[in-house]
Structure 1
């Protein structure tokens, strides 16, 4: 920000712009601002007052001195976005609904699959930031990401991505071959998404949904657990709903097309319809799953349908976050910080475990 409006309505120069000598009664005109606020490599862009990310989590430890080794290491950790790994909990879904939470060997395999997908996700996020580095540098929030700001140099980020992929796929080979193929397909899909498919409207959201479905399939293959068609359908519809919500949120931002080229082909009306259809379909499919005779027989319970209130609340709450927090970087990140949403999710998990298990594990 090169100028700020004071309470009296006059303009003042920021502290980092030197005052120009006055000539007579009039002062010389300051140089015009740059058309793009692109930070120089290795430096976080400045602002007046200093930028404070309104959605950032407070650091657990004090920030390391800028330019130090620990400062760069922390930037590397931020680049793989550990807070986003919660999405990989979908890998564990088949184990929960197959009543296998009391089987240590199955839990061990499921946690191994979860760890491998966390490594793959970290590689994918790093690759995505490498591809989007120029666009991120003109984004009001994303330009402070470690790669866009220069905190993590480009060669180091490339090396990180390659190492994460090799370790993850090498670990996947230890499990069943079907699991390895699913993990490989997940990486190839996300690589294609980062390089090309994310620029195609609606296909980009479809790729996100397919990524969630692959997570669920991977969890089933890793633990040799059968997967219900209802689970696959619910996962796909829920991911589509969240993806369309994220695009609707991004479309309301400033310079949306510069930040994501696919947004040029979206319209608010079409995304509103897509959100309504996928939201209703998600809740309806889950309700059908809970009322299915096979489901009721397997869980020996007639009450699972009562948990439908939680997905319904989650859908409405997410729509409120999309519309009510336009300055947030992503509504999918905001929902994990939203107290009502998190409480609803915790209650849902507790009720499902109580109804599904009821001290009668498989």
Structure 2
């Protein structure tokens, strides 16, 4: 009996650790890969010093992102209990208490900020702007129609800018524009999924959903989709030293079309990182796009 109690204690500790890991949402760290955009397009991907700095920047963004997720989970715990998926989050489910979550935050936040300042001051400023943007989003902006999605898009832009600043390279405005449009596409897709999944209970979970309708979001998605394709196509025409970058346009088209298929037919897309990781055709397409871009940029 004593042995079973000990085993029970071990399971409890393991479950607690899993709760802390889940609280940091490592699956969503895939969004931080946008930090590598400047490294790839500035053609420094095979230079160890540059790669090391961007990797460290990536880890800083992962840690600060975890801090943001912890704060969100604490603030939205009661509302998350009403969501079919979010009710399983550590704080909402009760696996991790709000106090434990805040203690975890108090240790993680200083490490991420100090690490960023040790890496580069300008990068650290961008990281703090990213954190401030997310705090404002959690407190106020997520209740403001359209601006809530634009705030999400700003987070992606800051990742790209941070990746450029940490290695002191120029990044094309076309890349920033494509990042903005793509992130708006993902943001509106997320709102659409919430409306579909929650149906009549959408307003009780997220009040801002009162301001959205499927028709309105579909119109926004149509506009953003067209703009994304045009912006990326213009980038390949005008912003590269080689016209071979135009060969990557089909990958972008397929990726957007596939994501829309997932949104409209599979009724998913509420979590972009989970969508990418769970859909093999989409993941393969992204990998092929990245490989094709690297080959074209570096072998010209």
Give the alignment's TM-score, normalised by structure 2: 0.93
Q: Provide the rounded CA distance (Å) in 2 between the counterparts of 1:329 and 1:169.
A: 29
Paired residues for 1:247-258 under 5 Å:
247-254=191-198, 255-258=201-204
How many pairs does the alignment contain?
A: 291
Q: Provide the rounded CA distance (Å) in 2 between the counterparts of 1:256 and 1:336.
A: 26
Task: Pick which of 179-188 and 248-257 moved more.
Answer: 248-257
Q: Is the 8 A contact 1:141 1:329 kept in 2?
A: no
1:282 and 2:205 aligned: no
The match for 1:295 among 240, 264, 280 is 240
Residue 31 of structure 1 aligns with which residue?
none
Larger relative contact order, structure 1 or 2 (CA cutoff 8 Å, min sep 6)? 2
Residue 215 of structure 2 aligns with which residue?
269
The match for 2:188 among 232, 244, 255 is 244
Q: Unpaired segments of 5 or more residues in structure 2?
A: 1-7
Which structure would you say has the larger Rg?
1
Q: Secondary structure at the match of 1:307?
A: helix
Residue 4 of structure 2 aligns with which residue?
none
Q: Is the 8 A contact 2:27 2:273 kept in 1?
A: no
1:82 and 2:23 aligned: no
Q: Unpaired segments of 5 or more residues in structure 1?
A: 1-63
Q: Is the 8 A contact 1:65 1:71 kept in 2?
A: no
Q: Provide the rounded CA distance (Å) in 2 between the counterparts of 1:122 and 1:348.
A: 28
Q: Is the 8 A contact 1:80 1:125 kept in 2?
A: yes
Q: Is the 8 A contact 1:246 1:332 kept in 2?
A: no
Residue 15 of structure 2 aligns with which residue?
71
1:115 and 2:59 aligned: yes
RMSD of aligned alpha carbons: 1.6
Q: Provide the rounded CA distance (Å) in 2 between the counterparts of 1:315 and 1:133.
A: 33
Q: Secondary structure at the match of 1:286?
A: helix
Shift of 1:225: 1.1
- Larger helix share, 1 or 2: 2
4+ long deviations beyond 4 Å: 64-67
Q: Is the 8 A contact 2:262 2:268 kept in 1?
A: no
Shift of 1:332: 4.8
Q: Provide the rounded CA distance (Å) in 1 between the counterparts of 2:268 and 2:126.
A: 36
Q: Provide the rounded CA distance (Å) in 1 between the counterparts of 2:184 and 2:22.
A: 26
The match for 1:161 among 105, 111, 130 is 105
1:348 and 2:292 aligned: no
